[in-house]
Amino acid sequence: MRSDKVNKGIARAPHRSLFKAMGFIDEEFNRPLIGIAMSKSEIVPGHLHLDTIAQAAAAGVRLAGGVPVQFPVIGVCDGIAMGHEGMRYSLATRELIADSIECMVLAHGFDGLIYIPNCDKIVPGMLMAAARLNLPGVFVSGGPMLAGRLQGKPITLTTMFEAVGAAGAGRMDEKELALLEDAACPGCGSCSGMFTANSMNCVTEALGLALPGNGTIPAVMAARLRLAKKTGVLAMEVLKKNLCPRTILTEKAFMNALALDMALGCSTNTALHLPAVAHEAGIKLDLDKLNQVSAVTPNLCKLAPAGSAAIEDLHAAGGIPAVLNELAKKRLIDTAAVTVYGTLGDSVHQGINQNPEVIRPIDNPYSATGGLAALRGNLAPEGCVVKRSAVAPGMLKHEGPARVFDAEEQAFTAIMKGNIKPGDVIVIRYEGPKGGPGMKEMLAPTGALAGIGLDDKVALITDGRFSGATKGAAIGHVSPEAAEGGVIGLLQEGDSITIDIENQSINVNLTDEEIARRRASWKPLPPKVTEGYLARYARQVSSAAAGAVFG
């Protein structure tokens, strides 16, 4: 066992004394040491209860004869960080999470691992660590929050960000806003729509690193604790088989994940995170593969923000096994792919579609193609991404004048002051991985647009990114970004931009000669951050098209 390096032999007597200082007994040194990487905190609703999940997982490890050891992992709440400088730290912490887990695991000689994430960057950060370390391990998330309820209608965090725009436009008074505020987020768990956290927790099932139910069992259900306990037992079985993540994280697994992604209409952030996880596993996953899968995979679900259903509704309808079962009917997934519990087919066979209103049958999809699309053109030669399933039909093709802003805050102010008109194309630049730095999410401006009733009349383009809670013609990850001399940095107020989501193209209507002329006189903005972690991050990070990984 790897733990022999830290607790066996005469030379390790000092090490054992330190273990004994924590209450270990000699008998435990003869059992596998299972690390439990847990992102419990009291500042993230999705992580508030993870100590309870960890205790259940630890109980499973002990049942199976192992010794569980918990250690902490950081995590930023994207909702609380939204709309101010805190959002610069969200994506940037993904790399910190992966690095810190690597440090803890290799420094302390764990034999196997259980990963307990829940929210946006924590899930992919832990997946990256699992692929990098390649030690036997299993995932179990904290589960989704229940949807809020007000006057008999489900509401989510998206409702709150849209309410800000409605209140600013005089369409909602402060009393109504306060009622929503009290009801939107009723308790612990990852926010209740198909936002980034839930997208990645569902995708983890398709990748094969978690048991069925990981992405959809609500946080407050006893079934979540039972799942965690089963995960603890499974971690010991995986260790005995020496079944490591890179055996599971094959190209087939990532193609399965993309297929599920398209069927669910996941967050555009999966187009950042899946390539980053694949990179750690030694596999190339680019935007061309995303479009390749999207072209043949129908969109079967319209969960919030694309529709009114919440994750709890997806769970009641059969969860991820039911969605995979529909995809398997057209051979759109590889059921022979290896998982921590057998093959993906074992999950598919459990899948029964209990509600065709929530999970459309494969022969009656919302659309014949997937929920995400990658666009290319002279405005984004390396690509950009849009959540197609959340775009109003009338905005799938759009041409309009550019309204150019060099920061998210400038655009938000213009929206709230009523300076954005139907038909406009809002451009928010210098918010990419390097230019932000940290690639901020733009939920505040997109929520405001929805709140004032412009989300189906205005497009928004950025080299930053969007929350999974965003809806509308919101096109992010424009690459190359402005800070690297991308064409988005050359745009001027009033330039005509043409967007064709159906044909996967995005262009500014300028000649090559005019673009070259502007580039010759272009100078980047001074860096927004010049010291600390973000300055180091900006120097190391790659483009969004490559997953914003460290070079």
Distance between CA atoms of residues 74 and 96, nearest Å:
8
Asked if residue 305 has a cis previous peptide bond (ω within 30° of 0), the answer is yes
Give residue 169's pLDDT: 83
What secondary structure letter does DSSP report for 213?
T
CA quadruple 413, 418, 423, 426: dihedral, nearest 10: 0
Mean pLDDT of 240-258: 98
Judge contact between 204 and 127, C-beta under 8 A: yes
Residues pairing with 400 in the sheet: 497
Radius of gyration over every alpha carbon of the chain, rounded to an integer in angstroms: 23
Confidence of residue 467 (pLDDT cuts 50, 70, 90): confident
**Tokens standing for 205?**
């099932």
Q: What is the token pair recorded at 448?
A: 């405001």
Task: Compute the half-sphere exposure of residue 408: CA atoms within 13 Å on the CB side of its CA.
Answer: 30
- Position 393 pLDDT exceeds 90: yes
Q: Can you give the pLDDT at residue 469? A: 83
* Residue range 43-94, pLDDT digits in tens: 999 999 999 999 999 999 999 999 999 999 999 999 999 989 999 999 999 9
Q: What is the DSSP code string of 50-84?
A: HHHHHHHHHHHHHHTT-EEEEEE-----HHHHTTS
Q: Please write the tens of the pLDDT for every residue from 483-499.
A: 999 999 999 999 999 99
Range from 154-163, 191-200, 273-282, 493-502 carrying the lowest mean pLDDT = 154-163
CA nearest neighbour of 481 among 545, 407, 419, 390: 545
Between helices 270-280 and 251-264, what is the axis angle to 10°?
Answer: 170
DSSP-assigned beta bridge partners for residue 441: 465
Q: Which amino acid is at 485?
A: G
pLDDT confidence band for 470 (50 / 70 / 90): confident
What's the pLDDT score for residue 374? 96
- pLDDT digits over 357-389, tens only? 999 999 999 999 999 999 999 999 999 999 999
Percent of the chain with pLDDT over 90: 94
Torsion of CA 451, 452, 456, 461, to 10 degrees: -80
Task: Look at the block and give the residue holding tokens 């931009």.
Answer: 497
DSSP 8-state secondary structure symbol assigned to residue 120: T
Please list the helix, strand and coil fractions of the chain in percent, rounded to the nearest 5, in that order.
45, 15, 40
In angstroms, the CA 505 to CA 519 distance is 22
pTM for the model: 0.96
Cis peptide before 68 (omega within 30 of 0): no
Assess contact for 190 and 198: CB atoms under 8 A: yes
- Is the per-residue pLDDT at 158 higher than 90? no
Name the DSSP letter for residue 203: H
Per-residue pLDDT for 311 more than 80? yes
pLDDT tens column, 278-296: 999 999 999 999 999 999 9
pLDDT at 520: 96
Pairing status of strand 67-72 against strand 33-38: parallel
Virtual CA dihedral for 23, 25, 30, 33, nearest 10 degrees?
A: -10
CB contact at 8 A, 341 and 211: yes
Which is catalytic among the residues 467, 505, 542, 543? Answer: 467
**Helices 196-207, 270-280: crossing angle, 10 deg rounding:** 40
| CA–CA separation, 198 and 453 (whole Å) | 27
Q: How many helices (H) and strands (E) does the chain have?
A: 21, 16
CA 335/CA 80 separation, integer angstroms: 39
- The DSSP secondary-structure symbol of 525 reads P
Residue 550: pLDDT over 80:
yes
The answer to which of 111-120, 161-170, 424-433 has the lowest mean pLDDT is 161-170
Place of tokens 């309870």: 52
Dist. CA 541–CA 428, nearest whole Å: 20
pLDDT-derived band of residue 11, with 50, 70 and 90 as boundaries?
very high
Kindly write down the DSSP assignment for every residue of 322-371, as one continuous string. HHHHHHHTTT-S-TT-EETTEEHHHHHTT---S-TTTS--TTS-SBSS-S
Distance CA 234, CA 453 (A): 49
In this structure, the strands spanning 459-462 and 473-479 are parallel
pLDDT in tens, 517-544: 999 999 999 999 999 999 999 999 999 9
User: Is 39 designated active site?
Assistant: no
Q: Give Cβ neighbours of residue 93 (< 8 Å, ≥ 6 apart).
A: 74, 75, 76, 121, 125
Q: Minimal CA–CA distance to 280: which of 463, 99, 477?
A: 99
pLDDT at 481: 98
Q: Which residue has the tokens 């089963």?
A: 230
Q: What are the beta bridge partners of residue 401?
A: 496
Whether 86 contacts 76, CB under 8 Å: yes
Angle between helices 443-451 and 408-416 (to 10 degrees): 10
The residue count for the chain = 551
The mean pLDDT of 149-171, rounded to a whole number, is 89
3-state secondary structure 415-473: HHCCCCCCCCEEEECCCCCCCCCCCCECHHHHHHHHHCCCCCCCEEEECCECCCCCCCE
Alpha-carbon distance values, 21 to 16, 17, 25, 418, 542 (Å) = 9, 6, 10, 63, 44
- Residue 478's SS3 state is strand
Beginning with the edge strand found earlier in the chain, give each strand of the sheet holding 33-38 in spatial order.
67-72, 33-38, 112-116, 137-139
Q: Which among 533, 546, 551 is positioned nearest to 436, based on CA atoms? A: 533
Q: Is the pLDDT of residue 551 over 80?
A: no
